């Protein structure tokens, strides 16, 4: 990572604060009970907080599995959207969740996209119309104990290649 990106990754800008606020007010994310607490100025790092409260609690008194998953659902897709831009399609393809320990308090997660990862995706998309990438998001308590790990498989494609594929499929019908 370049020195500029490291410095940008440690602070928020006005733009990233406004995006963070918009993310927190977006109905689908707001409904999870989680909140984005930080979005770096370079839009490569995002942190969330998921508290245990009446909205996120299950009947056993621990964090509801749906809240754990939903809180992490769009994190990497959002970072990739900002890193790659509008000429790419980013969709969830698959996901899995591993519960390690019940969440009995607030949990935190951080996602980061390295410059090398973005460069690798772009290079791969020069050779192929689409690529699948797998990302893990760990939800941990304030002491660092991991309670849940969500694994996301994202489909990433160049829009021009995707549209060509759709036209070819329509012509074949």
Q: Provide CB contacts within 8 A for 28, sequence distance 6+.
A: 74
Q: Is the pLDDT of residue 63 over 80?
A: yes
Average pLDDT, the chain: 91
* Tally of CA atoms within 13 A in the half-sphere of 150 that contains its CB: 24
Per-residue DSSP letter, 62:
S
Determine the pLDDT at residue 6.
46
Measured distance CA(105)–CA(90) in Å, rounded:
32
Average confidence (pLDDT) over 39-55? 96
Q: Which among 79, 67, 66 has a CA at the least distance from the CA of 114?
A: 79
Measured distance CA(57)–CA(62) in Å, rounded:
5
Whole-prediction pTM: 0.86
Determine the pLDDT at residue 123.
96
Taking every pair of C-alpha atoms in the chain, what is the biggest distance, in angstroms? 57
Domains annotated on the chain, with CATH: 3-172 (3.10.129.10)
Determine the pLDDT at residue 5.
43
Q: Is the pLDDT of residue 98 over 70?
A: yes
Determine the pLDDT at residue 1.
35
Measured distance CA(6)–CA(122) in Å, rounded:
21
Determine the pLDDT at residue 168.
74
Average confidence (pLDDT) over 132-147? 98
Average confidence (pLDDT) over 100-126? 96
Q: Is the pLDDT of residue 142 over 90?
A: yes
Ramachandran area for residue 62 (φ above 0: left; ψ -120 to 50: alpha; else beta): beta
């Amino acid at each position: 990572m370049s020195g500029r990106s490291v410095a940008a990754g440690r602070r928020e800008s006005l733009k990233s604060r406004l995006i963070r606020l918009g993310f927190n007010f977006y109905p689908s994310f707001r409904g999870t009970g989680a909140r984005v607490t930080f979005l770096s100025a370079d839009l490569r790092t995002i942190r969330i907080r998921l508290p245990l409260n009446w909205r996120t609690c299950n009947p056993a008194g621990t964090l509801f599995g749906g809240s754990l998953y939903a809180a992490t659902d769009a994190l990497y897709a959002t970072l990739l959207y900002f890193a790659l831009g509008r000429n790419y399609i980013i969709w969830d393809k698959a996901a899995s969740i591993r519960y390690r320990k019940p969440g009995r308090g607030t949990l935190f997660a951080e996602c980061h996209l390295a410059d090398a990862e973005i460069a690798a995706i772009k290079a791969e998309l020069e050779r192929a119309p689409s690529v699948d990438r797998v990302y893990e998001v760990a939800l941990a308590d304030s002491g660092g104990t991991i309670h849940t790990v969500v694994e996301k498989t994202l489909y990433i494609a160049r829009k021009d290649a995707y549209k060509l594929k759709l036209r070819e499929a329509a012509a074949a019908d």
